[in-house]
Chain A
């Protein structure tokens, strides 16, 4: 050993490349020697000695410590090993790592040594002679040795374990603990420092490979590897080193004037870009951005003094680190990653509640270089981010300020709007105005673009607006198009734009299309807030109109209550005021007429006039309204449009009159219905009271429908498709029918308690599941679930004794009022099924016919939507009645037609989903079961269609509400399937006694997981 050591003293000056080659060969020899020694080693000491021999050539090894860990004779051998000077070691190391020696050595170290000996080597010795090879070597070389090894396979499980845990330990040590990535960055930078500046292709490939290796670590690490190697923490660490390193390097270069900065840094940026793109491709963009934001914010704070208000680009450019930030995005060659990065950046900035100004300057710092030069970048901001994505509103503001207005928000100097601005606005507006856009885009997207246009309009002046004729037209078209929409939010968007637009045209005369439209438009529309709280799936029903109705009613009640509550106070006030007034006027008049009535007051006694104490002067006009005594008068009064008071009176007394249901009602109802439909409330009612007049009219119609359904329906259903009525009247008819159906169906259930046994219906209701079950099972009890869809149908539960062997852990208690109540038998007084056919069948014919003034499928789709909704309500109103089963196939037929179920308007699709859900809940399971058994195609295919169609909608409908309704529909379908399976079970049970229990048990109940 000694001889080789002496001969191995390298001569640094010895002939350039030749000397290096020689040294590399020598190093390889040394490695070979060590390899032999390790291979033939019999004890750990021998291995330590062999490895130490190589290590001491390269690193300043503390031989004494190493020697202390082994026994003789190795101890003395280690101590005897010659120590080299620093220069000598450097040249050795250079040769070792650049040549083939390191890869060979690392193979030995990672393989044989790690698996057989490492555990036996003392930790301090391991630090000195084993880890040094990786920690002290250049990290670029080290990772090329370590990371590929991660994907190697070892035979035995134990070996596998040892091998990988060692590898991972080394990786953490060298990349994370030792700031390996930082070193890599520095290395790439310095390698090109004085080079020719052109990165040769080989080098490019090499850099990419390093980057690829680096980012592949979390993927390659084993499942049980240390947490530091999982992608979140690993990437977090890597990126922070990377950014810090790159920033430091840039600063260094900026200080060094000689260096050709751009060229010198190109490979470093190349590496940076590669790593960042790969990280983003691997789905860890969030971690990247989370690291990025604090750094860039710090940077901006560094650039701008805290008390400085207006930032100018110069201030940022002057700071040396800026060069790094300017180039960072451009370094990412991969456009997709840039996009992901930007998107994530915007979202995270929004959730951090960063001020508009700061956000603008962050965007400016990152993108200002590339935005001007690269059309791709501009397209990303202007096309992708404005038209295709949706961001929170604040992000939209930043995007607009950065990419469209090109000026910082709240900037004191009003910059002139760029020409590109008008192009963008034009583009936005033309898309916004299209009918197809309203139909086929999600509400979020629509709100987003609406907000974008609104924010752009706010920047405009009237003059500028007039120069862009097309914008004007598109906006008007878009507004009018939206105002027709049945969806409230869409109308709200239209009125918001209209308001903004009118403010541009004439700031003094804003146009309020909506009553609750406030001066400052809320562009968020409740959708575009940064924290997106998705409402939980609600019942289909509650999504639809009834809810709003109920709300309205509730609101009305509340209002009424409030008013009632207020009345005493108000009246007291009025009285007070009046009193005051009286007193004042008293004094005034008495002064005025003092002279005149002097005489009189002398003659009459003092209390003469004051004895004239006023009575309560309150007055109302309830008695003034004309009373109608004949139904025919009522109809006649309604037909006199010039006598508005008369019509008004007739409207207000109509409902009461009809509800009294006089004998002649049956003969006059048709006439009255016609009169009510044709009366023009808006002409008659006083301004501001049109709504109440409309309401009275609708209530009167409902009353008619309820009191004599057949006669009224006969007229109404004919009127519905006649060309003599307009859309509003059609909607009125449908609304009235809907509410009448609900009223007729309003189940008044008479419940009898089971206490006495006098007259009781002991046979359980057919709604109750069969009593079969394990012995000892308790009686079925109805579960009431207020507010959920499930309460439409009936749910029962019972107590089941635990099976033998089933361990009951803990105690469960139910708290409730009283004891388990007896099963109550109820009789439904639902009158609707009797009239259901008259309600549904006539209107289901001819909805698709197009005649003069009637075009339900296209123009009047709102009517169609309402009609289908009404049919759904009808179905629901006769839930579980045999009539439902008879009418369901017809309704299924209607909604299955392509024109209806695939209607372009979301409104119609929602109605169809609602109707489908109603069919599902209203069919009696036993009917479904029997139709399955008998092979009734109508029902089975119809129900199957509902399922597939709902699935399709839930997957791909642009309207989010449709999607959630479809989900509910699916849930209902599965519940219906469950009920049906129960019905089948009981049918089988009654047929075959206890013959087929095993088969029935295997029915999969899709119930538990759908809740």
Chain B
């Protein structure tokens, strides 16, 4: 109804509501805290910063990965609790605690992955954690999302109850303590147990690595991974990995030898991949001039192309889908953030602020904010298509 009232003429694209300045080098990655009003960003000079998203000020800053290595990726997730993980190009991932006055001075623990590649790590995403805003996975065999604690739930409290999966300890542990990352042999993907700093599995599994038809070696370096636990897999981790030649593979840890499915949507290296809240589909971008939306067919184990979007200028370094699955955003080498309607696939906005190539884009868990970071050393905060404030009455009605 609001849309009908809106005039037909297009509005100019919005400007960022805030720009976070302070980094002295290209900002490689950024992520929101799942519950607190905090934003973390990692720069190429090794600095990891925490920002207050309300006051737009730096809360604290640590030299996470010293020297030229730099912070390549940061991740926070509900499953991790009050911790964030930073990935450096020094072969380590470090876990930092969040304290009263910001980040802990020293990492809580360090995982030595010995990887020096260009693949950003991925925490394990499960549909129930994100898709709580109205719908849930219909086939879910877990208890329904708990609406009552939705707004201000403490992740700590939410985690054990929300994580329904009782994983088989021999292959996986609890999904919240795992991260996926390209391996030492960078055509492989590894799954790590964070707290134990232990490699759980390598995909494809080493035993089959010697065979003549090695499934990934010819595909080049692994450039992006996304781990998730779909409802159908009964708690087993699935991984999507994108490779230098543009192909995307779908792995199930139960079949570590061969991928479930392999598709090639990009003509050049695929650089980023993101999966939606239901784990039913996702979006991927690459060095070519395409953004691809795809769906995952869980029963068949196949990836199907949903929509292919041509770009004016090639190069997508990062992609993200908003937790409510309404919009998706891409961070482009052309200094633009592009926003798409995730369901229909049509373009919604071209956001121009950054003056250098954008490295990553991310959404806050309440879907209200979007953050983009760029090589121009800034992080920009945007407010786009704010989700409808849903009163509790409505929510109970919908339920």
Interface residues of A (CB under 8 A from B): 575, 582, 585-586, 589-590, 593, 596-597, 599-600, 603-605, 607-619, 621, 623-624
Contact = CB atoms under 8 A, between A and B. Distances in A.
18 contacts: A589-B343, A593-B344, A597-B343, A599-B138, A600-B325, A607-B3, A610-B3, A612-B327, A612-B348, A612-B385, A613-B11, A614-B349, A616-B11, A618-B350, A621-B334, A623-B335, A623-B355, A624-B313
Contact of B2 (A597, A607, A616): A607
Interface in B300-321: 306-307, 312-313
A617 B313 contact: no
Nearest to B2: A611
Scoring A596, A600, A615 by chain B CB atoms within 10 A of each residue's CB, the highest score goes to A615
Given A603-B135, A624-B334, A613 B13 contact: no
A421 B3 CA distance: 79
Contacts of A611: 2-3, 385, 388
A121 B10 CA distance: 109
B169 interface: no
Scoring B11, B335, B344, B355 by chain A CB atoms within 10 A of each residue's CB, the highest score goes to B344
B10 A616 contact: yes
Contact of A603 (B306, B350, B398): B398
Interface in B213-255: none
Contact of A589 (B1, B345, B355): B345
B346 A586 contact: yes
A614 B347 contact: yes
B295 interface: yes
Nearest to B354: A623
Contacts of A585: 344-346
Contacts of B13: 615-616
A497 to B, nearest CB: 44
A470 to B, nearest CB: 55
B343 to A, nearest CB: 6
Contacts of B22: none
A609 B349 contact: no
Interface in B329-360: 334-336, 339, 341, 343-350, 352, 355
Contacts of A575: 10
B326 A599 contact: no
B14 interface: yes
B134 interface: yes
B313 A621 contact: yes
Contacts of A596: 295
A610 B1 CA distance: 8
Nearest to B385: A612
A950 B359 CA distance: 71
B378 to A, nearest CB: 14
Contacts of B344: 585-586, 589-590, 593, 609
Nearest to A597: B343
Contacts of A615: 10-14, 339, 348-350
A623 B10 contact: no
Contacts of A612: 326-327, 341, 348, 385
Interface string B1-32: 11100100011111000000000000000000
Interface of B: 1-3, 6, 10-14, 134-135, 138, 295, 306-307, 312-313, 325-327, 334-336, 339, 341, 343-350, 352, 355, 385, 388, 398
B11 to A, nearest CB: 5
A613 to B, nearest CB: 6
Contacts of A604: 134-135
B135 A599 contact: yes
A43 to B, nearest CB: 115
A582 B346 contact: yes
Closest 5 CB pairs of A and B: A615-B349, A616-B10, A615-B13, A610-B3, A603-B135
Contact of A593 (B134, B343, B388): B343
Nearest to B11: A615
Contacts of B3: 607, 610-611, 613
A312 B16 CA distance: 87
A590 B345 CA distance: 10
Contacts of A619: 312, 336, 350, 352
Contacts of A586: 344, 346
Nearest to B351: A615
A614 B346 contact: yes
A590 B341 CA distance: 12
B367 to A, nearest CB: 12
Contacts of B325: 600
A173 B3 CA distance: 103
Contact of A600 (B135, B347, B352): B135
Contacts of A617: 10, 347, 349-350
A596 to B, nearest CB: 7
A614 B9 CA distance: 10
Contact of B6 (A590, A597, A613): A613
Contacts of A582: 346
A839 B327 CA distance: 63
Nearest to A588: B344
Nearest to A602: B135
B87 to A, nearest CB: 29
Contact of A608 (B326, B334, B350, B355): B326
Contact of B10 (A590, A593, A600, A614): A614
Contact of A623 (B6, B307, B312, B352): B352
Contacts of B336: 619
Given A600-B343, A615-B11, A617-B349, 4 more contacts: A575-B10, A609-B343, A611-B385, A614-B348
Contacts of B307: 589
Nearest to B352: A623
B12 A616 contact: yes
Nearest to B349: A615
Contacts of A623: 335, 352, 355
Contacts of B335: 623-624
A374 to B, nearest CB: 75
A597 B278 CA distance: 12
A588 to B, nearest CB: 9
Contacts of B313: 621, 624
A603 B344 CA distance: 17
Contacts of B135: 599-600, 603-604
Contacts of A603: 134-135, 398
Nearest to B1: A607
Nearest to A575: B10
Contacts of A621: 313, 334
A614 B12 CA distance: 9
A234 B55 CA distance: 110
A569 to B, nearest CB: 15
A609 B341 contact: yes
A864 to B, nearest CB: 47
Contacts of A590: 344
A350 B335 CA distance: 68
Scoring A589, A605, A612, A618 by chain B CB atoms within 10 A of each residue's CB, the highest score goes to A612
Nearest to A593: B343
A491 to B, nearest CB: 39
B139 to A, nearest CB: 11
Contacts of B350: 615, 617-619
Nearest to A618: B350
A609 B345 CA distance: 11
Nearest to B14: A615
A613 B3 CA distance: 7
A621 B313 CA distance: 10
Nearest to B333: A624
Contacts of A608: 326
A619 B138 CA distance: 41
A834 B135 CA distance: 81
A600 B385 CA distance: 18
A618 B312 CA distance: 11
A239 B134 CA distance: 110
Contacts of B2: 607, 611
A608 B312 CA distance: 29
A593 B293 CA distance: 13
